[in-house]
Structure 1
Amino acid sequence: MAQFVIAPPRQPSLAIEGSTERFPLRRVYCVGRNYAAHAREMGNDPDREPPFFFSKPADAVCDAGGTVPYPPLTEDLHHEMELVVAIGVGGSDIDPAAATDHIWGYGAGLDLTRRDLQAQAKKLGRPWDWAKGFDQSAPCAPLIPASRIGHPVSGRIWLKVNGELRQEGDLADQIWPVADIVAICSRAVRLEPGDLILTGTPAGVGPLQPGDKIEGGIEGITDISLTIGPRA
């Protein structure tokens, strides 16, 4: 058995609805601009060009339902409500027709974004890591096994802040549906059990402040709630 010079980091994981077991996390892939209206609100062309991906560290994922601190280095924290896909069977060059065979389950999550840092990175042509991959930047509701709910291709996705509806769309509005996203991602990297894919956000992203209460949901899958805490 391997010996380490320091204690190994904890294994990141995510809760499973109705179970004491947890889903171990390996990598987290995120899809940018996968809803046309959101692409437009961010000043981009929503045509069906190949999707682009960015990543978050696995330990940026945290269980929703509690309080997530307002992160440092930003004055413009934004919410982005997303469908979460959990990979249970690995593979490369996956055929879209077989993509659902690789999906363990689904959930609802937030891609929290330090928008001011992202804008600076875009302007300077730099990576988005500091804008997207900070601590607790991906709060997620407990996952739901696909064996229980099937593989949804439509359903309302929404988010409220302090009771005000901010984001609303439908999974059917995705430019690239889940099967295509899984297939395209698997051409660049081998997907493995424990990978998560956050599949993009509908229009209506906006700023958050300490004390804000967030509620959201995806029809037929699950709901999510959390509170933004004081600045870290």
Structure 2
Amino acid sequence: MTKLSVRPTSPADIDALLKLQAHVYPTIAPWRRDQLAHQLDLFPEGQLVATLDQRIVGCASALVIAWDEWADEHTWSQITAAGTFDTHNPAGFTLYGAEVFVDPRLRGKRVGHALYEGRRRICRQLNLRRIIACGRLPGYSVVAHQMSIELYAKKTLWGDFVDPVLSFQLREGFRYCGIMENYLPEDSDSLGHAALIAWINPDYDPTQKPALQLAAALQQEATA
């Protein structure tokens, strides 16, 4: 019996993740090994892998940001510091989803749902206000000659189209917030565009500081 599970990423997973990412996105340059290692050093809590019978079949990577600094137009490279996550800010209130990918042979097997559920669990555990991400719109290139990216997104919201990514994210409880143009220029299927989406943490407690802020304060006290 096969068993799907989600767990924190470890350094031992890096080679398998690079191989899987290259398989999922053959036209987009994958991460470098040093980028993945740096992400784990900066924010290990935000990096997840999905495994099926101990084989890695998916990945979700995130960092914490102060969203007010990034709410205007931005690119993936800018907000992730070119994939290094050097923009990670423990003082922030927003978990930013930088990447999700799933083995294409397992689409429809709820791997993506398990990874998104893992992200929501992180958001709750850290007492963060929300999750924000910019998702690909891979169905757009087929109809780009007929309509703008904004109309394509609206038609997906209305149910006229089923976009492989945005439709899934809507089912996962995310709200569509608009288009980020030129977010990932090398994404030819989306013509570089992305859908800005948000999930609001229903368990966020504004009377308590987020866990990363508390940990930072305790560390400062210990070293004072």
Q: What is the TM-score when the length of structure 1 is the normalising length? A: 0.28
Higher strand proportion, which one?
A: 1
Q: What is the TM-score when the length of structure 2 is the normalising length? A: 0.29
Q: Which has the higher contact order (CA 8 A, sep 6+)?
A: 1
Higher helix proportion, which one?
A: 2
